[in-house]
Chain A
């Protein structure tokens, strides 16, 4: 069912009786050309691009719970393409362009809001690194601006300029960055994939991968065996568990990232802001809540919850940066399980098992990548070769020394 102005008015006047389910609830078929494990943002986006761009119609997405219930429904909704390294920036800029056309592509309003992002810096060293990064962005066709402290003050007068332990020296701005309505992204991709014939199968947990003679034949699930020519895994924090079913160990650890939202407030923040001297980033949602976060808790975990020290650390950062939020109340805290990779960058690649493909290692930056991740994974699944903007995301890059380490902290996932 296509959404249009006419349709919206008609339904409003006739009691909304005509709206149909946004996706079907099919039973799994015995065999598909491609089965995508994971009905999160990346899995659903993969299904959308497989069906709409790469002409693959015999596709299923299997999801152990309800779609959109993982990190796509738990993140802080930030979209940006402000990366430094050649392996990353073209990919994220590709993603940004997909975001910019997403609503029209999906016929679904994911409320992409290009409110801009500013990464503040507080030392000369940070300024140098941001200069390098901003230049890399521009050289890759993205937009970037460097603001000095006075320019930052003009745009964000409520920041702490007078009593700061680490004074703001400036900021790197990407105007095209912003936020999107995270749940709607999952729903929009699901709806589109469903319209293009993809079976989205909820409450269907994968319990095993059927592998014979080094080839993956399909997935064992709580709804029985589902055969497939190709199986793609896009399960974020559960990556090690699922790929472990194929006997693989991954360069990934699972960690919890907490996120927070305040009570609804009249507009106060014009853009996304990240603090450079503490763990704090924030934006304001269309509903008015301050959506914010900071560092991961730092220990391996599969529990979608964190502990108080990080809550305090994040709020300390917030108060240090913008003490006018002190009397805003934190309404809700939650956690998502992050697939923290060994260099902080993702993997979209074939695996040693024929017919088994892997997409993961998104750390806590997977949301902004959702369209490009889906597009590139679909490309890989459909054509058996990597999409040109995702060639660096190889599984074997750690063995060959081709890490993509934006932060420069090496093989310790909880530092990325």
Chain B
């Protein structure tokens, strides 16, 4: 296939020939092309379909503001819908497909929508599809959904890597056009740390698209020289292919670098894109301007493009959209396009200029005071109709029409912190307002300075001012200094269907209808018509819509208002924001000291927060998890079992006020706890609800070791620091989290002491007399290794917890197993732990659900009224101490084999089963191999007074009704004899 529309010159590399496919057909291109320029070179004008009417769509622009030219890029799991052809850097083997059409781009069945466009006006959804009522869900909505949407996802997991990074600089320059380059030269030469970022792969901005001179060079050569100088500066970092997407608080900018999108495939381990957080002292926005269209009848045909885009394609990419081009303009910039194209040998059908006093040309015809009134061509432009000032009409044969309605400064990033742009009457455009994000200033066309000289100068001045440079500014190269005068001309009067937002199919009439129906504020206009809500966020359409609204409302544009722009500047893949945090890397994984040993033993693991804990340890022949868990419970209660409880939070509390501090933290008293003793501690939130429970062991007069639940380890520590620093700043107490410093094991069961006696060095007496229930102390194990021993029990058995420095955790587990062989020691996991604590009636996570008080949990008496402690006052509010508040009870099915469901609700034996008669709910349910029965814990209204009562446990969700009896929560060893044995 020959590139019939390829011109001479340009900044492409003609020595490389790349092949690519679009909709299955093969074409060739050059390095330096975009998919858009390559398609035009190959005379492909029809690229897609519009959102609502499925009208044929071609390219409108040459940049990231493109609303129309969207494709599905790449194939398989790497398929990327809605990708702008104008921003796709050409690579060899590129594959792209048109989208939002069926069965083919040329014949799209839904183009029938266009014939019914009268019915599909703005807001039509809201007035219809309501009859009959049931049809909306069943018929209308499914049809709408299938028709809607643009490209499609592959439905496969994105296989690429993404990364995140942080960068710091003195000055972030956003945009590398004339203003940005000059700013970077100024700041770079002064020695500042500079980042210069530009979304394009070629730095230079519009300089690469123009033919005029800068200094002694062509504009693009000057840009290349500037880039070369900047590249040589160690203090300047150039970031091409990097879009600054948002201005966030305190000088933090988000930027997306496309490190791999221009490559046929990614090198192994390299990211496709990187999300940068750039921390900067100052930012200079040099984002340029976007040319704005003029709306006229059928202005949406493929081939009708922005005049500046035609110029870019010709000058930078050496491509023309057609061999015969017309221009429709209201300003001198349109004439530049005509002149440049003419110089490249493209036939100019005419320049249609709305101004009576438009400049003339010797090279082509200029129709002054004329307007384009209609266009023709089914899949691409074939001719335009023009009305002349004398009322006569002309027809111009042309395959492309360049439209120029003037330029809008790219103020987007100035709005990201709710700053509002202001209307500049002279240039009839919004320019940055006074209320810029902190540390941001604006230069060049983005600031409404629409000449090259002005851009260079404001770039230099902007950098100097941002950095407080005192020396003379660098010499500026000579450049054109003819700011474009802009007189507004928004749309051609009398048109019937003239597009404002080409992607979403919003026409001039829709804007007027919006006004007619009372949707008159800018936001109503936007939401009612969907103007500016498409993937281009209205970069080429918002102002036109606003202007039309202002006209029909008889107001000025600033009176009607402006919609502010939100991040991101251009759309960003969701995967880029996620970076590496996906799959197994979504959260860090914390491993217990016995993890590898447990793995060797074939343990089944469970996620507990970020921890992985052994859930049970199946033995060969055990086919169901219950077999393993039942065995672990039985063997622990019969002899001895070991459980890794390292995940419990551990906090060292030291200082002369340590006891007084804990007295405030815990609802129960700690002041009188003897050294060498441990006490169960109940911690309330200030609102009186139970926050956490655990133990505090007094290792010395001024030293406690506090444990927390696994789930609350972080929040309890934070809370204790709050109390220490914010409430009692003069207490002599220090806190440090030691959760990860100590490996800790529960050794439980009647033989636990015997086992530990084989581990703990003989000089430490741990007999029942010397080391009774709730004792604690420092010991050594295995011949001198320091350890902490606590005689505490969660299982209800004679039990200890022993802690050694973490790095010895694995060895200690192996030693315990080896030494315990004679007792048949077994490891037990979190399931058996859970069974035993329910058997014992200990509250845990399911009961400490943040809405339970000490009274609810049967621990009301622990809340001391004799001292000040967090939560004690608010725990006495009237509704929290009413007689029928929920109380913790045990629940036993009348038939032991009947299953109990946690989350089931409890109802009286008689009476209705509904919410009004709810008596409470089951918090935890297990099978007890000791009682040979299913058992549970629950919270029941006034439950403590209702033991022995029969109730119905209902779980309609799981289709279950069971007769149960309320019993004491202490199923096993209610007197605590085993604990003290």
A adjacent to B, CB under 8 Å? yes
Which of B124, B254, B901 is in CB contact (< 8 Å) with A131? B901
- Which one of A30-38, A162-170, A238-246, A375-383 is at the B interface? A162-170
CB within 8 A of A184: which of B126, B573, B904?
Answer: B126
> Are B574 and A319 touching (Cβ within 8 A)?
yes
Contact mask for chain A residues 164-198; partner B; CB cutoff 8 A; 1 contact, 0 none: 11110000000000000101100110000000000
Min Cβ gap A77→B in Å is: 13
B236–chain A nearest beta-carbon distance, Å: 25
Question: Is A128's CB under 8 angstroms from B902's CB?
Answer: yes
Asked, given contacts A135-B903, A308-B248, A327-B154, whether A315 binds B851 with beta carbons under 8 Å apart, the answer is: no
Contact A3 B128, CB 8 Å, known A128-B846, A320-B586: yes
In the complex, what's the smallest C-beta–C-beta distance from B581 to chain A, in angstroms?
Answer: 4
Contact in complex: A411, B849 (CB < 8 Å) = no
Taking A325-B153, A330-B573 as contacts, is the C-beta distance between A188 and B126 under 8 angstroms?
yes
Q: Does B899 contact A (CB under 8 A)?
A: no
Please judge, given known A-B contacts A19-B516, A20-B517, A136-B915, whether A307 and B248 are in contact too, CB under 8 Å: yes
Interface 1/0 per residue, B843-859 and A, CB below 8 Å: 00110011100000000
Q: Which of these binds chain B: A41-49, A50-58, A222-230, A396-404?
A: A396-404
Q: Is B567 an interface residue (CB 8 A)?
A: yes
User: Given A128-B903, A145-B957, A166-B607 in contact, is the A304-B51 Cβ separation under 8 Å?
Assistant: no
Q: Do the beta carbons of B149 and A410 come within 8 Å of each other?
A: no
Q: In whole Å, how far is A395's beta carbon from the nearest beta carbon of chain B?
A: 15
Return chain A residues, CB-CB under 8 Å to B156.
Answer: 324
Q: Does B585 contact A (CB under 8 A)?
A: yes
Chain A residues with CB under 8 A of B923: 128
| Residue A305 at the chain B interface, CB threshold 8 Å | yes
A160 at the interface (CB under 8 A from B): yes
Q: Does A329 touch B at the CB level, under 8 Å?
A: yes
A26 and B689 CA atoms in complex are apart in Å by: 51
Cβ of A286 within 8 Å of any chain B Cβ, yes or no, is yes
State how many residues of chain A have any CB contact under 8 Å with chain B: 116
Contact A308 B252, beta carbon cutoff 8 Å? yes
B residues near A263, Cβ cutoff 8 Å: 81-82, 150-151, 535, 571
Q: Are B157 and A160 in contact (CB under 8 A)?
A: yes
The answer to whether A25 touches B518, judged by C-beta atoms less than 8 angstroms apart, is yes
Q: In the bound complex, do residue A131 and residue B902 qualify as a contact, i.e. CB atoms below 8 Å apart?
A: yes
What are the residues of chain A within 8 A of B153 when measuring CB–CB?
265-266, 268, 324-325, 327-328
Does B82 lie within 8 Å of A311, measured CB to CB?
no
Q: Could you mark each residue 169-181 of chain B with 1 if its beta carbon is under 8 Å from any beta carbon of chain A, else 0?
A: 0000000000000
Are B571 and A329 interface neighbours, CB within 8 A? yes
Q: Which of these, B416, B517, B685, B957, contacts A21 with CB under 8 Å?
A: B517
The 8 A CB mask of A342-380 against B (1 = contact, 0 = none) is 000000000000000000000000000000000000000
Residues of A within 8 A of B518 (CB): 21-23, 25
Q: Does A132 contact B (CB under 8 A)?
A: yes
Chain B residues lying within 8 Å of A212, measured Cβ to Cβ, are none
Q: Flag A309-325 by CB within 8 Å of B: 1 or 0 each.
A: 00110111111100111
Closest to A89 in B: B915
- Is there a chain A Cβ closer than 8 Å to B527's Cβ? yes
CA distance A325 to B153 in the complex (A): 7
Given A12-B121, A163-B584, is A333 in contact with B574 using a C-beta cutoff of 8 Å? no
A391 within 8 A of B: no
Among A123, A131, A140, which residue has the most Cβ atoms of chain B within 10 A? A131
Could you tell me if A288 and B537 are in contact, using CB atoms closer than 8 angstroms?
no
Find out whether the CB atom of A319 lies under 8 angstroms from the CB atom of B582.
yes
Q: Which residues of A contact B502 (CB under 8 A)?
A: none
Collect the chain A residues with CB atoms within 8 Å of residue B277's CB: 308
User: Could you tell me which residues of chain B, from 560 to 606, have a CB within 8 Å of some CB in chain A?
Assistant: 566-568, 571-579, 581-587, 589, 606
The answer to whether B957 and A138 touch across the interface, beta carbons within 8 angstroms, is yes
Q: A21–B582 contact, CB under 8 A?
A: no
Q: Is the CB of A312 within 8 A of B578?
A: yes
Chain B positions within 8 Å of A214 at CB level? none
In the assembled complex, the CB of A342 is this many whole angstroms from the nearest CB of chain B, namely 8
In angstroms, Cα B572 to Cα A329, docked, is 5
Contacts of A5 in B (CB 8 A): 128, 131
Alpha-carbon distance between A133 and B585 when the two chains are bound, in angstroms: 31
Contact of A22 among B519, B535, B879 (CB under 8 A): B519
Q: Of B124, B149, B687, which is within 8 A of A266 by CB?
A: B149
Give the contacting residue for B133; candidates A104, A399, A403; CB below 8 A. A104
Interface 1/0 per residue, B866-891 and A, CB below 8 Å: 00000000100111100000000000
- CA–CA, A323 and B528, complex, Å: 33
Contact (Cβ within 8 A) A166 B573:
no
Closest A residue to B581 using CB positions: A316
Q: Is the CB of A160 within 8 A of B583?
A: yes
Contact B904 A131 (CB under 8 A): yes
Within 8 A of A (CB), among B878-934: 878-880, 901-905, 913-915, 918, 921-924
For residue A221, CB closer than 8 A to chain B, the reply is: no
Q: In the bound complex, do residue A324 and residue B579 qualify as a contact, i.e. CB atoms below 8 Å apart?
A: no
Cβ 8 A contact of A135, one of B125, B577, B954? B954
| Interface footprint category on B | 35 or more
Q: Which residues of A contact B686 (CB under 8 A)?
A: 410-411
Contact (Cβ within 8 A) A405 B956: no
Asked whether A163 lies within 8 Å of B583 as measured between CB atoms, the reply is: yes
Q: Tell me which of B7-15, B136-144, B208-216, B290-298 binds A.
A: B136-144
Q: Does A267 contact B (CB under 8 A)?
A: yes
Q: Which residue of B lies closest to A130 (CB)?
A: B903
Query: What residue of chain A has the Cβ atom nearest to residue B615's Cβ?
Result: A124
Q: Judging by beta carbons under 8 Å apart, are A400 and B577 in contact? A: no
B958: A residues at CB distance < 8 A = 131, 146
A318 with B578: CB separation less than 8 A: yes
Q: Is B160 part of the binding interface, using a Cβ–Cβ cutoff of 8 Å? A: yes
- Smallest CB gap from B875: residue in A: A401
Could you say which residues of chain A place their CB within 8 Å of the CB of B574?
A: 262, 315, 318-319, 325-330
Residue B80 CB within 8 A of the other chain:
yes
CA distance in complex: A400, B885 (Å): 14
Q: Which of B929-964 contact A (CB under 8 A)?
A: 954-958
User: In the complex, which of the residues A21, A25, A286, A400 contacts B879, with contact meaning CB atoms closer than 8 Å?
Assistant: A400
Is A248 in contact with chain B by the CB < 8 A criterion? no
Q: In the bound complex, do residue A103 and residue B130 qualify as a contact, i.e. CB atoms below 8 Å apart?
A: yes
Determine if B575 and A331 form an interchain contact, defined as CB atoms under 8 angstroms apart: no
Q: Output the least CB separation between A51 and chain B (Å).
A: 18
Complex contact B523–A73 (CB within 8 A): yes
Q: Which residue of A lies closest to B415 (CB)?
A: A305
Q: Within the assembled complex, what's the spacing in Å between the Cα atoms of A68 and B131? A: 26
Please tell me if the beta carbons of B130 and A3 are within 8 angstroms of each other in the complex: yes
- Which B residues touch A160, using CB under 8 A? 157, 583
Q: State in angstroms the CA–CA spacing of A303 and B154 once bound together.
A: 37
B343 lies within 8 A of chain A by Cβ: no
Smallest Cβ distance from A414 to chain B, in angstroms? 13
Q: In the bound complex, do residue B903 and residue A103 qualify as a contact, i.e. CB atoms below 8 Å apart?
A: no
Q: In the assembled complex, how far is the CB of residue A255 from the closest CB belonging to chain B, in whole angstroms?
A: 15
Write 16 A-B pairs (CB below 8 A) sorted by A numbering.
A8-B127, A129-B849, A134-B957, A135-B905, A139-B914, A141-B914, A183-B527, A264-B82, A265-B149, A266-B152, A286-B148, A308-B248, A311-B254, A318-B578, A319-B575, A327-B574
- List 20 additional contacts besides A19-B516, A165-B585, A408-B849; criterion CB under 8 Å: A8-B127, A21-B516, A22-B519, A69-B521, A73-B527, A111-B136, A133-B903, A135-B904, A138-B956, A139-B954, A163-B584, A267-B145, A288-B145, A312-B164, A319-B574, A320-B583, A324-B154, A327-B81, A329-B82, A409-B850
